[in-house]
Amino acid sequence: MSVKEFKLPDPGEGLTEAEIVTWNVKVGDTVKVNDIVVEIETAKSLVELPVPFAGTVTALLVDEGSTVEVGTPIIAVDTGGGAGAGAPTTVQDAPAEGPVEPGLEGSPAPKLAAEVAAAAADEEIEEGKIGGTTSTGRTAVLVGYGVKQTEAKRRPRKGSAAPEAPAAAPTAPAAPAAPAAAPAAAAPAAPAGGARALAKPPVRKLAKDLGVDLGSVTGSGEGGIVTRADVEAYAAGAGSQPAGTSGDATAAAGDAAYVAPVFAQSGERETRVPIKGVRKMTAQAMVSSAFTAPHVTEWVTVDATATMELVERLKKDREFRDVKVTPLLVLAKAMTVAIRRHPEINATWDEAAQEIVVKNYVNLGIAAATPRGLIVPNIKDADRMSMRQLAEAISALTATAREGRTQPADMSGGTITITNVGVFGVDTGTPIINPGESAILAFGAIRRQPWVVEQADGTETIEPRWVTQLALSFDHRLIDGELGSKFIADVGAILADPARGLVWG
């Protein structure tokens, strides 16, 4: 017997620990090279880890919910002694080829001290080579960026109700009828016989936080998957929620993923939630930013009626029929235009070098509230995108954040941020600057309000208009009042009259 241990690899971004969220295998399961065996949560994202060797699982060395440091053995696999001489016994022993994430010049790129690879179908791959497309016979893949991310469907877990068909069965005659497959067509009820409940990692984490046993919850999702709504309804004592309902409470504009908290009916007067993962990282970053950069906040109230009219026209335009059009899209475009007029707003303060670094590109951050906490993924090179491309990018960013799958690279290298507090019905606020940036703009709720309108003949009338408030917080070390005022005034002017974007852009 040859037992090898898989150590927790370095997820990069300076992170030194991660939480074991979900094991996809159990003791006795057989695994192949690159099988996804565990899902971990770092301070920035949920990541699926593939195993670098094949064999039989002999031990899960860390329990779900435990936080472990990089380099800690987490699973033991009996490889059967079939590995070649000199093969690495852990992921850390394999040489890394650290590919660089494109478009992240000037920002820390994720690193990986381990190599994992895309195993071709069920092909046996020699351990120590792990795949093979590069000149060295290996394929270097960042944690969370491998082939698993590009697949359309999840690979079934070992021991599930629908196991993978054996690869060596081409000569088996096709049966005229398959009555045994008929039960699989129906949506499964609650897991029985010790089978693992089907649920996405964010749902599992919610169930863990609420003290809900997923095996007791009836899934209403497609294929019997347990949804967030099912867990919340069960925790509230209402049993499983009917199929077709959604647990994501998203505001009408749909630009931020937000889930209302549900408190377990345990009878306890207090609940203690460990500070870790995204919330821990966010707290540290906000404290550092608030007490390092001198914040100044300015407000402007804008008649956004023309923006709302533009949004309605774009929704009917065939160029935008496949994407979601919201006022946030217009604001994002207005920001890029205003930055072109005032490039010094898109900068950062380099304390070590005593320099102001002006960025000639715009990586536009969109703050998103998720079940794991507040994250700020950004759209790379947003200033080079058309309105249609921006709409697609915002939709993809929001969907990924809602699923808890935002990767560290998507949150690195931001230059300026929008926080859309308006989706929660909030008028405005004083946002804290995202670390590494110098400005953040809060987008308030758009409401119907009385507004003084100047007519063509010079007279003034009071009319109901769509009105919103913008608030810009900026680092006063490098952005003075004049620059900040001109920038937010230009953004407001474009919302009031989107045609200005054509003139200024």
CA distance 372 to 370: 5
Mark residue 455 as left, alpha or beta (left: phi above 0; alpha: psi -120 to 50; beta: remaining). Answer: beta
The number of beta carbons lying within 10 Å of the beta carbon of residue 245 is: 12
Contacts of 284 (CB under 8 A, 6+ apart): none
CA distance 251 to 190: 31
CA distance 370 to 377: 12
CB–CB of 195/216 below 8 Å?
A: no
Q: Determine which one of 276, 295, 476, 500 is catalytic.
A: 476
CB–CB of 369/256 below 8 Å?
A: yes
Q: Which two tokens stand for residue 368?
A: 């998103």
* Catalytic residue list contains 295: no
Q: What are the helix (H) ranges across 63-153? A: 147-150
CB–CB of 42/67 below 8 Å?
A: no
CA distance 75 to 57: 7
CB–CB of 210/259 below 8 Å?
A: no
Q: 3-state secondary structure string, 7-59? A: ECCCCCCCCCEEEEEEECCCCCCEECCCCEEEEEECCCCEEEEECCCCEEEEE
Contacts of 167 (CB under 8 A, 6+ apart): 121, 122
> Which amino acids are annotated catalytic?
476
